[in-house]
Structure 1
Amino acid sequence: MKYLGLAYFTPEKFAALRPDEIEALVSQCPARDEQMRATGKVMMAASLGDLDGWKTLRPRNGRTQVSDGPYTEAKEVVGGLFIIDADSPEEAVRIASLHPAATLGEEGGWAVELIPMEFHVGG
């Protein structure tokens, strides 16, 4: 079964951290990411770009409306994502637990949402 992991953060909490706190936190991420990839079960992982470059598209009056930034009513924002190919829900949780957002950064409002999914490859 495939699982989508969404790594969240809370921009206001993250912005309240001092630069040295951010550096101490972020410097731990590569090792945690590598632990997760070393399981051999991670199909892909990505960090998402700066919020200033985001666009939101919505249907409005038969046309597509484009606005800057992420969905504005959200308190948490997706900062990264990954896909795991796990043999069981328990294995998926164990692997997702290795992600930095699941183990570090409580003060930055980090979290991981793990979602079972059907995976379709176009053709």
Structure 2
Amino acid sequence: MKYLCQGWFGPSALERMRKEEKTSLDRDLPGYEGDLVACGHMIRAEPLQSQKSAVTSHVRNGKVSVTDRPYVETKEQIGGLSLIEANDLSDAIRIPAGIRLAKFGSIEIHPVHTFD
């Protein structure tokens, strides 16, 4: 079953990290994700640019309007997305828990709806 994992982080979480922690994350993350790809769990993972570059699009009465930045005010922002393959929800929870960046934020896990 496929699961979408959203990584949520406080805006200053990465800014508060020491240089050694950032270097360690940069070094370790590709190895763990590579292991997930090799065993068939990781389908795709992408980091997102800063929330400052995001916009929100609305369609109302057939007209599109755009709001600068995300529409919803939150204390955290989405930092990346991963699409994974897991046996069940327990497996889906275990897989992104190994991503070291998870200790600086949270991972929201959604089963992907499939149409039969």
TM-score by length of 2: 0.76
Task: Provide Cα deviations, 1:24-50, integer angstroms capped at 9, x if missing partner.
Answer: 333322122222222212222111123
Hey, what's the Cα distance between the residues in 2 that align with 1:12 and 1:76? 9
Matched, 1:52 2:52: yes
In the aligned structure 1, how far is the partner of 2:110 from the partner of 2:47?
A: 18
Change (3 A) 1:22 1:70: farther
- State the partner residue of 1:85: 85
Unaligned runs of 5+ in 2: none
Aligned-pair Cα RMSD in Å: 2.5
Residue type matched to 1:4 in 2?
L
User: Equivalent residue of 1:46, what SS?
Assistant: strand
Deviations 1:54-100 (A, max 9, x none): 11123467643312223451111111111122222222222222333
Letter in 2 for 1:70: P
Is the deviation greater in 39-48 or in 73-82?
A: 39-48
Quick check: 2:58–2:64 contact (8 Å CA) kept in 1? yes
The match for 2:110 is 115
Asked whether the equivalents of residues 10 and 75 of structure 2 are also in contact (C-alpha less than 8 Å), the reply is: yes
User: CA offset at residue 112 of structure 1?
Assistant: 0.9
Unaligned runs of 5+ in 1: none
The secondary structure found in structure 2 opposite 1:14 is coil
Cα distance 1:87–1:16, how it changes in 2: closer, same or farther (>3 A)? closer
TM-score, scaled relative to structure 1: 0.73
Task: Please list, as runs of the form range in 1=range in 2, the aligned pairs for 1:100-111 lying within 5 A after superposition.
Answer: 100-102=100-102, 106=103, 109-111=104-106
Q: Percent identity?
A: 31
